Amino acid sequence: QKEVEQDPGPLSVPEGAIVSLNCTYSNSAFQYFMWYRQYSRKGPELLMYTYSSGNKEDGRFTAQVDKSSKYISLFIRDSQPSDSATYLCGAQGGSEKLVFGKGMKLTVNP
């Protein structure tokens, strides 16, 4: 079992939809949780990160971590075609190495 599990999708939604992306993790030592976004033929870029449990909001994006259930979520409100990309969840513990999920390919259709 990978330390971070993510459904690879793909996921296709209409423009304006609310998107929910989810991951689970198994290592209780993880303290930082992040979402990276990767456009086609590009390297991943950090979208958001959260320390420990809680929510973090940035515009249309909300990252949520529930350490009791070991659940990582990313919500996208009013999704746009420009949000079409692969989204990778990740986690980091004391070793300072990032562990990534498989990535979910999202397509937002106009």
Under DSSP, the state recorded for 84 is: -
Give least dist CB 85 to other proteins, A.
Answer: 13
Contacts of 42 (CB under 8 A, 6+ apart): none
Give least dist CB 1 to other proteins, A.
Answer: 14
Question: Among residues 17 and 70, whose Cβ is nearest to other proteins?
Answer: 70
**19 Cα distance to chain centroid:** 11
Question: Among residues 14 and 43, whose Cβ is nearest to other proteins?
Answer: 43
Instruction: Please report, as ranges, the residues that interact with other proteins according to CB under 8 A.
Output: 6, 8, 32, 34, 41-46, 49, 88, 90, 92, 96-103
